[in-house]
Amino acid sequence: MPVPTAATFARLADLIAIPDAADRPTRSVVEAFTGKELATVPVGTAQDAKDAIARARVAQKEWATRPVAERAAIFHRYRDLVLENRDALMDMAQAETGKSRAAAQEEVLDISMTARHYARVAPKLLRPRRISGMLPGLTKTVVRYQPKGVVGVISPWNYPMTLAVSDAVAALLAGNAVVLKPDSQTPYCALACVDLLYQAGLPRDLFAVVPGPGSVVGTALVENTEYLMFTGSSATGQLLAEQAGRRLIGFSAELGGKNPMIVTAGANLREVTDAAVRACYSNSGQLCISIERIYVEESIAPEFTRMFGDRVRNMKLGAGYDFGIEMGSLVSEAQVKAVSSHVDDAVVKGATVVAGGKARPDLGPLFFEPTVLTGVPEDAECYRDETFGPLVSIYPVADVDEAIDRANDTEYGLNASVWAGTKAEGEAIAARIHAGTVNVDEGYAPAWGSTGAPMGGMGVSGVGRRHGDDGLLKYTEPQTIATTRILNLGGPRGLSPKVWAKIMPPFVKALQWIPGR
């Protein structure tokens, strides 16, 4: 198996922004498939984070003076390096997380697509923009975009490459520096990606990686940076939002989801069945935008349940650094316990297991079968709470209206999937769903992969957006520069204030006839 070598881990460890790392306490990093130690990582402190921020702030001042096209050239090179090193990156992603090869490839492709998109559009988005002034001909108004300064990024373990780097790409292109706190279980995934950024020409102090506890390093980031980007649980996001609010700094977050799928009577069930496997079990279901609730019209619910159950029971589950495995392991014992708890609780309260339902220690310490439930009662934990694992429940509904009502009956609002008889019907249903992204005839990939469109959550599923123009401009401070020409608002010299006051109202009223006013 192509597990990264000790030499690789040692080389990447040298990139950590912690001085005298060899003398620090360390944390073990294990291979998820086997539980064997891969390497150790030094545990950063609040002072390490503050020192990295101070160095980043110095580097950012020079970086912000560079032309945007010069910054963009680095990310075009980065995109190429990511694709050239895709096998090594996928190996690292699988080693630290236990995900399947296909899920690891999603990370590599997303990083390259995001880097390409923002490198291509950043020069235009950040260009000073002339707008209509207060008084046409007398006022010139220009909007400029100033970088925030140092951006703190706190990334999770489930997509430890793309969520560590893709948000940082936009922040860096906007002229900022970045200090990243990766998840303690997956630090080398982040370092492998940052290594390629340095190779592409990014100044090292401009992007620092400081591993360590969220309560320590994460707190130091929110207390000392000018903007915070977080991906993780809704509970942690709420806490960080409070901390950011006290400092009046910008904050953006993609948080949890209890994402629904709607299947109408006219849908092609064979296509739905195959796509639902991807939608529910990609990355072993450890994906904020994966599907956990499926609402199916009653007339087709038995057939769909049979077909989907058969397909899930026949999924290939296992450890493998190749594309032959459909689903890998979970990332930690805590995740295995969380999924087991939700399944056991639902069954005790009356739910039926259609497929899966058990841990698989015979395959490795962190494996759990892809699981399908029916008959889940409202008092079951998995009815409303996010599982964040390979567990999905099927709920028959009388009609489309009931499906939409139940899909929207949640505090979350991150992602949804719709399958109907026609594209037009699917799009009409999608427009009625309270979610930041909705995929018609797929699970999550088309909306996520549309890097030119905003992606994020409603309700407790998030604040702000990544991707799209908002995903870059949120890392800037818009600045309006208005220049008065010919005469100022006091009126022409020699004209009495009384006369000038009479002239102004009809003049302002006449502005409505000017195009664009």
Q: Exposed (0-12), middle (13-18) or buried (19+): which is 11, by Cβ within 10 Å?
A: middle
Complete DSSP assignment for 287-349: -TTSEEEEEEETTTHHHHHHHHHHHHHT--BS--SSTT-SB---S-HHHHHHHHHHHHHHHHT
Say how far residue 2 (Cα) sits from the centre of its chain: 28
* Rounded distance between C-alpha atoms, residue 107 and residue 114, angstroms: 11
* Rounded distance between C-alpha atoms, residue 309 and residue 130, angstroms: 58
| Residues facing residue 374 across a β-bridge | 352, 394
Annotated catalytic residue, options 254, 292, 297, 326: 254
* Rounded distance between C-alpha atoms, residue 208 and residue 180, angstroms: 6
3-state secondary structure (DSSP) of residue 511: helix
Beta strands in 123-274 (DSSP E): 129-131, 139-147, 150-154, 177-181, 207-209, 227-231, 250-254, 259-263
Number of H helices, E strands in the chain: 18, 18
Which residue type is seen at 332? S
Q: Is 297 a catalytic residue?
A: no
Q: Which residues of 194-226 are buried (b: 16+ CB within 10 A; e: fewer)?
A: bbbbeebebbebbbbbbbbebebbbbbbbbbbb
Contact 404, 430 (CB under 8 A): no
The tokens of 254 are what? 């993609």
The tokens of 433 are what? 């769903």
- Give the relative orientation of helices 101-125 and 162-173 as an angle to the nearest 10 degrees: 10
DSSP state of 129: E
Q: Mind telling me the catalytic residues?
A: 254
